[in-house]
Structure 1
Amino acid sequence: MSIDFTAMYAAHDAFRRDLERLARAVDDGRAHTPGVRAGWENFKHQLHIHHTAEDSDLWPRTRQRLAGRPRDLALLDDMEAEHSRIDPLLAAVDTALAERTPELPDLVRALTATLDDHLKHEEDAALPLMQDVLTAADWAAFTGRMREVQGLRGAAVFVPWIVDGAPAPDRSAFLAAMPPPVRILNRLFWEGSYRRQGFWGAT
C-alpha cells in the first residue's frame, strides 16, 4: 500500500507561499505591520512543528528501516543538517524584523532559497525513499503524532492555513485527505476564524 503524501506536499506549498507573502510585504514596506508580523509568527510556528516532528519521529522511524544502507542513511543526515541551517536564518529574519535593519530583504531571500532547496531535496529524494521503506502503519503513526502535537486548537489554524490561497484542485485534494469531521469544522468554524486573524494583512 502506497503512502499518501498529499498533506506533506500541501504543507511544503504553504511554507513557500508564506515566504512569498513575506517577500512581497518587505518589498512593499509592510513588513512591520501587525498582519505581516502575525503571519510570520504563524509561519514559524507551523515550520517548527513540522520540522520537530520530522526530527523526533519521522527520520528515526525511517532510519530503523534502513539498516545496512549507508547511502540512504546519509540522506537522512542531510535532511537533519538542512534543518539546522534553516534555524539561524529564521532567527536572523526575526532580528531584522524587530530592529528594522536594511539587511531584511537579503535575509528573506536567503531564507527562501535555503528552505526551498531543502523542501525540493526532501520531495525529490527523501519522500521516494520513505515511500519505498515505510509502511502505511509507520506513516499513520507519524501523522498521528503530528495531530497530537497540534491538538484541536492547532488544527483549527493548521487546516485553513494550508488551504489559504491554494489552487482549487490542491485545496480539494488536501481536504479530501482529511477526516469528514475536520472538513465540517473547517467549513463551519475554522476558516472564518482564520480569516479574522488577518495573517499577512488579509481580512
Structure 2
Amino acid sequence: MSIDLTVMYAAHDAFRRDLERLGKAAADGSAFSPPVRAGWENFRKQLHIHHTAEDSDLWPRVQRRVEGRPEDLALLAEMEAEHGRLDPQLAAVDAALTDRLDELPGLVRALTITLDDHLAHEERSALPLVQEVLTPADWSAFTGRIRETQGLRGAALFVPWIVDGAAPADRAAFFGTMPPPVRVLNRLFWEAGYRRRGLWQA
C-alpha cells in the first residue's frame, strides 16, 4: 500500500505561493505593511514546524530503513543540510523586513531560489525514497507528530492556509485526505477566521 503524499505536496505549494507573494510585495513596496508581515510570520512558523518534524521524525525513520545504502544515507544528509542553509536566509529576510532594508527584494529572491531548489530536490529524490521504504503506519506517525505540534488552534490556521488560492482540483484533493470533522470545521469556522486575518493582503 502506497503512502498518500497529497498533504506534503500541498504544503510545498503553499510555501512556494507565500514566497511568491512576498516577492511581489517586496517589489511593489508593500512588504512592510502589517498584513504582509503577518503572512511572513505565518510562513516562517509553518516552515519551521514542517522542517523540524522532517528532521526529528521523518528522516530518522527513513535512515533506519536504508542502513548500508550509502547513496540514500547521503541524500538524507543533504536534506538536513539544505534545511540548515535556509536558516540564515530566513533570518536575513526577517531582519530586512524589521529594519525596512532596501536589500529586501534581493534577499527574498535568494531565499526563493534556495527553497525552490530544496523542495524540488525533495520531491525528485527524497519523497520517492520515502514511498519505497516507509509504510503507511510510518507516515501516519510522522504526520501525527505535526498534528500534535499544531494542535487544534494551529489546525484552524494550517488547513485554510494550505488551500489559500489553490486550484479547485488541488483544494478537493487536499480535503479528500481530511477527516469529515476537519472539513466541517473549516467550512463553518476556520476559513472565515483565516480570511479575517487578512494575511498578505497589502
Under TM normalisation by the shorter chain, which class is it?
Answer: over 0.9
Q: Could you say which residue in structure 2 is the equivalent of 1:71?
A: 71
Percent of matched pairs sharing the same residue: 74
| Offset at residue 102 of structure 1 (A) | 1.3
Q: Could you say which residue in structure 1 is the equivalent of 2:27?
A: 27
| Offset at residue 163 of structure 1 (A) | 0.3
Q: Could you say which residue in structure 1 is the equivalent of 2:146?
A: 146
Give the alignment of 1:41-190 within 5 angstroms. 41-190=41-190
- Please report the RMSD computed on the Cα atoms of aligned residues, expressed in angstroms: 0.6
Q: Deviations over 1:45-71 (max 9, x none)?
A: 000000000000000011010111011
- Secondary structure of the residue aligned to 2:67 is coil
Distance 1:96 1:149 in 2: 28
| Offset at residue 29 of structure 1 (A) | 0.6
| Offset at residue 90 of structure 1 (A) | 0.3
Q: Could you say which residue in structure 2 is the equivalent of 1:195?
A: 195
Distance 1:124 1:116 in 2: 12
| Offset at residue 101 of structure 1 (A) | 1.2
The residue type paired with residue 25 of structure 1 is: A
| Offset at residue 146 of structure 1 (A) | 0.8
| Offset at residue 77 of structure 1 (A) | 0.2
Q: Deviations over 1:59-89 (max 9, x none)?
A: 0011010111011000000000000000100
Task: Name stretches of at least 5 consecutive residues in structure 1 with no aligned partner.
Answer: none
Q: Deviations over 1:141-161 (max 9, x none)?
A: 001111101000000000000
Distance 2:71 2:20 in 1: 34
Distance 2:122 2:182 in 1: 27
| Offset at residue 27 of structure 1 (A) | 1.0
How many residues get paired? Answer: 202
Task: Name stretches of at least 5 consecutive residues in structure 2 with no aligned partner.
Answer: none
Distance 1:101 1:143 in 2: 37
| Offset at residue 28 of structure 1 (A) | 1.1
Distance 1:81 1:44 in 2: 18
TM superposition score normalised by structure 1:
0.99
